[in-house]
Amino acid sequence: MFKRLLASGIALLCIAAGAYAAPSTEQPSKRIADAPDFKVDARWPKALPNQWLVGQVAGVAVDKHDYIWIVQRPLSLTTDEAGAAQNPPRSECCHPAPSIMQFDKEGNLLRAWGGPADPGFLTERCTPAIGCEWPTNEHGIFVDHNDNVWMGGNGAGNHVVLKFSSDGTFLLQVGKLGATGGSNDVKGAPNGTPLLGQPADIEVDPEFNEAYISDGYQNKRVLVVDADTGLYKRHWGAYGNVPNDVDLGPYVGGQTGASQFRNPVHCVKIARDGYVYVCDRVNNRIQVFDRKGTYVREFYLDTATLGNGSAWDLDTSPDQRWIYNADGENNKVWILERLFGAVGNTFGRNGRNAGQFHWIHNLATDSEGNIYTAEVDTGKRAQKFRPAGRKNGIDDKDDRR
């Protein structure tokens, strides 16, 4: 045990000293022998009540209690999918579900609230009069150490991040619907918070109570604000540079070293050692910083990937050895060694069967190492993957249910 702890300490000291070799942009063809593998749990989640149906699932998060939260887009359902909600009803099923939904690890729905499908929510509980402006296109979700629920919006003009208590009580808005100020604005919103540019995702650092925002689909930065007030702390662009909103043009296959993020800056993830991982989606790369925004290193995924890129969302394994990347263009999950970015394994492919993906958008892990995924476009679902060989804590061979 002492030797393992000593080795881990030496590795972290090497990071702090900048002792890494220059990162390779070529991914090895061999996989790491002891890398984890995963198997879909096709029974998760369970059927929803009230003839509810989810649309595009734009975010997934796991809270400190191991409850799973999703944010989904009720307005993305087609009229035939929401047939029972039409006037007059065109079919027996279904009704759009509320935007925010909480599940347990067995797939039971625990609560649901928010958005246009929650009666009275947008006229009583989240209104411009109290400073709450719900976006037209929900994007990203995070549940912080105080059980507060954060979400963003990336539709046209949806330049806001919202914070709620777990029961849907409005607490804070960062930004202003319909207003943006570019990647270097720090306090342009009416409440003194920064103006945003179609933010993608949020993560709160419990040690310093700071919210990190990947900002995003229009801006090209990581933005840090106070998690209680939303007031500006700091921001940075690729390599820790001052962000520049000049259009870099389309990504060219095989390109590396772009001096700025391309849109969207799609995720931000803070590991327990304080390193900040950022998804530069279309550039097919993950950049690593310290909390101050000082660049540490980068590693690339498949640099030949065009379209929507390969770096969509990240989370870490419980032991922090691995980082999992959702790749919505190639429709698979990359399992990477967290410190160096070496490919350990992958799973998934494009398809509609359980365990396959169409536009895998976000992912999150729980304390037992299960991975939960969210799909947008026409995927419109959440899935659960458990470490191969285990099923809800029971060996596969012993599961006779």
Phi, psi angle pair for 95, to nearest 5°: -115, 140
Instruction: Kindly state whether residue 32 falls inside one of the protein's structural domains.
Output: no
What proportion of the chain, given as a percentage, has pLDDT over 90? Answer: 88
CA 370 to CA 393: how far, in whole Å?
Answer: 10
Whether the per-residue pLDDT at 16 is higher than 60: the answer is: no
Q: How confident is the model at residue 323 (pLDDT cuts 50, 70, 90)?
A: very high
Q: How far is 184 from 157, CA to CA, in rounded Å?
A: 17
Residue 10 lies in a domain: no
What is the predicted pLDDT for the residue at 239? 98
Per-residue confidence (pLDDT) for residue 128, from 0 to 100? 97
Q: Output the six-digit token pair for 320.
A: 């922090």
- Give the residue carrying structure tokens 């002492």: 2
pTM equals: 0.90
Whether 149 contacts 164, CB under 8 Å:
yes
Distance CA 291, CA 314 (A): 17
Task: Report d(CA 83, CA 73) in Å as an integer.
Answer: 16
Residue 101 resides in a domain: yes
In a domain, 140, yes or no: yes
330 belongs to a structural domain: yes
Q: Pick the closest to residue 114 from 62, 63, 162 (CA basis).
A: 162
Tokens representing 17?
């000293």
Which has the closest alpha carbon to 145: 83, 65, 74, 71?
A: 65
Closest CA to 202 of 240, 172, 238: 172
> Where residue 102 sits, what CATH number does that domain have?
2.120.10.30
Report the domain count for the chain: 1
Domain contains 324:
yes
The whole domain housing 175 covers 39-393
C-alpha atoms less than 13 angstroms from C-alpha of 17 in its C-beta half-sphere: 8
**Considering the domain boundaries, does residue 18 fall inside one?**
no
Q: What is the mean pLDDT of residues 354-358?
A: 98
Rounded distance between C-alpha atoms, residue 303 and residue 257, angstroms: 11
The count of other CB atoms within 10 Å of the CB of residue 278 is 26
User: Which of 268, 314, 312 minimizes the C-alpha distance to 293?
Assistant: 268
69 — pLDDT class (breaks 50, 70, 90): very high
Alpha-carbon distance of 322 to 328, in angstroms, equals 19
**pLDDT at position 339 over 80:** yes
